[in-house]
């Protein structure tokens, strides 16, 4: 049965969040805290109980997120500084016919966005797109859309990028399964939104590159592509090995407890990312001539944007804690089951609605994850379905990027497009990513 007072508290809390971000331009971290406290007080929690829940929610979330996001940011910064991103792009684009270039750019974006943030990937790789456009004379969208599709999909779907890591932690999903389903959902989404849609829209909107072209320097000093791919794969392989160890038959686990413990230890996201960081620090840092002081400065700079993501994610954990303590999530779950809607639809629709209203995919992911986690509390779903729910939320938070999203303006600027052209190209591309990603996550949920 619906408690309309409790439901009203939740809806008002979400409205407060969106209003603070859109109208007052309040930083999402502060806005999430205010919205969470508002829900708690309106739902009848005692003021001191609300503050205790704020502390518990922040502590419970940041214990995992702060470490993973911080380690991931440092890993990406050293990879970027070494020139590894540029050499990866150059190697993937080398050779092959012109028709294959769009697919190669998509794959480049897919790999590059694992260690670096989306906007960094755009800045680093757009000169490659500019050069291709000037060489062929075709629309910039033919090459640019596949690139940003690959960047956007990995950034949204595949850990250790912050969004899916945060959602997986809030929902309690196994990171190995999130990686698997994220890749499985991301590949068809990348093909549909990247090369196929890129070719389609390029025939309708002709964009040319700016006159200035940035040339990469010191190509002879760049690390090999095989080394970069190996270093990128290390944390993913270790995390997946931990998942496989936990899936081993019980008799095998009982007979080999030390092996299982070791695999789970080195495959934990903390251990996997620490190992990867030490490898890139030595191989791409010290061995390539960087000093310890330079590497420290690079690592310190990388933590500045990571700090913002960590705080916003922690505030999302506060929102989840308030919804759980007020039992609002349980009420919504009962209502959805009565209406025949399962949690994966709820997560997708909630993320999509919040994304459309306030623009930030990170805020949409974290807010809807908190709501979905409260809805899932007490439900009997398996680890694959839980991971599919993570990707569904990520897909919802990717839908129709428009004028209230910073990514919209970044792409508009680097592509040299008007707002109308950006809506017809980039915004539609993100919607294709969202729909295909959700369709695959729904299939994974159904057949798990």
Q: Where are the domains of the chain?
A: 4-447
Residue 213: predicted pLDDT = 39
- Taking every pair of Cα atoms in the chain, the longest distance, rounded to a whole number of angstroms, is 68
Length of the chain: 448
- Give the tens place of pLDDT for each residue, 224-275: 888 988 888 898 889 889 888 988 888 999 999 999 999 999 999 899 999 9
What lies within 8 Å, CB to CB, of 416 at 6+ separation is 140, 207, 208, 209, 210
Residue 99: predicted pLDDT = 65
Cβ contact 169:183 at 8 Å: no
Cβ contact 317:350 at 8 Å: no
- Could you identify the residue written with the tokens 């809805």? 375
414 burial level (CB within 10 Å; 0-12, 13-18, 19+): buried
DSSP one-letter code for 378: T
pLDDT in tens, the chain (448 residues): 678 888 899 889 888 988 888 788 888 889 889 999 999 999 999 999 999 999 998 988 788 888 888 888 898 888 878 888 777 777 766 765 666 889 989 998 998 888 777 887 887 788 778 878 887 889 999 999 999 999 999 999 998 888 899 999 999 999 999 999 999 999 999 999 999 999 999 999 999 988 643 444 444 467 888 898 888 889 888 988 988 898 888 899 999 999 999 999 999 989 999 999 999 999 999 998 889 999 999 999 888 877 877 888 788 788 888 888 888 866 776 676 667 678 899 999 989 988 887 777 888 898 889 888 888 876 789 999 999 999 999 999 999 998 778 889 889 888 989 989 999 999 999 999 999 999 999 999 999 8
User: Which token pair is 350?
Assistant: 């909630």
Radius of gyration (C-alpha) of the chain in whole angstroms: 22
Cβ contact 186:151 at 8 Å: no
């Amino acid at each position: 049965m619906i408690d309309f007072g409790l439901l009203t508290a939740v809806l008002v809390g979400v409205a407060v969040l969106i209003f603070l971000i859109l109208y007052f331009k309040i930083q999402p971290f502060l806005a999430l805290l205010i919205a969470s406290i508002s829900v708690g007080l309106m739902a009848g929690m005692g003021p001191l109980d609300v503050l205790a829940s704020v502390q518990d929610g922040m502590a419970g979330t940041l214990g995992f997120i702060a470490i993973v996001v911080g380690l991931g940011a440092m890993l990406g910064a050293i990879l970027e500084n070494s020139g590894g991103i540029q050499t990866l792009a150059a190697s993937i684009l080398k050779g092959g016919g012109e028709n294959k270039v769009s697919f190669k750019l998509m794959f480049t974006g897919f790999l590059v966005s694992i260690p670096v943030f989306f906007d960094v990937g755009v800045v680093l790789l757009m000169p490659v797109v500019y050069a291709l456009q000037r060489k062929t004379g075709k629309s910039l969208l033919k090459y640019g859309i596949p690139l940003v599709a690959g960047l956007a999909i990995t950034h949204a779907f595949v850990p250790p990028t912050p969004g899916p890591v945060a959602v997986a932690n809030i929902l309690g999903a196994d990171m190995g399964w999130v990686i698997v389903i994220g890749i499985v959902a991301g590949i068809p989404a990348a093909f549909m939104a990247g090369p196929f849609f890129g070719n389609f829209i390029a025939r309708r909107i002709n964009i040319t590159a700016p006159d200035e072209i940035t040339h990469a320097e010191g190509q002879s000093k760049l690390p090999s592509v095989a080394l970069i791919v190996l270093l990128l794969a290390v944390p993913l392989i270790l995390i997946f090995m931990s998942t496989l160890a936990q899936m081993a038959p019980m008799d095998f686990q009982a007979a080999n407890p030390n092996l299982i413990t070791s695999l789970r230890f080195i495959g934990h996201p903390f251990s996997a990312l620490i190992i990867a960081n030490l490898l890139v620090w030595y191989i791409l840092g010290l061995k390539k001539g960087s000093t310890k002081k330079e590497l420290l400065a690079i690592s310190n700079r990388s933590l500045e944007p990571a700090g913002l993501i960590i705080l916003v994610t922690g505030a999302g954990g506060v929102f989840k804690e308030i919804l759980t303590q007020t039992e609002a999530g349980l009420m919504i779950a009962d209502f959805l089951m009565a209406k025949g809607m399962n949690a994966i639809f709820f997560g997708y629709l909630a993320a999509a609605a919040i994304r459309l209203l306030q623009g930030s995919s990170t805020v949409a992911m974290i807010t809807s994850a908190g709501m979905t986690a409260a809805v899932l509390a007490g439900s009997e779903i398996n680890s694959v379905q839980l991971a599919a729910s993570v990707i569904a939320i990520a897909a919802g938070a990717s839908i129709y990027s428009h004028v209230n999203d910073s990514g919209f303006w970044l792409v508009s600027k680097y592509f040299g497009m008007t707002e109308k052209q950006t809506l017809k190209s980039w915004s539609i591309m993100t919607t294709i990513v969202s729909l295909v990603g959700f369709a695959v996550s729904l299939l994974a949920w159904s057949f798990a």
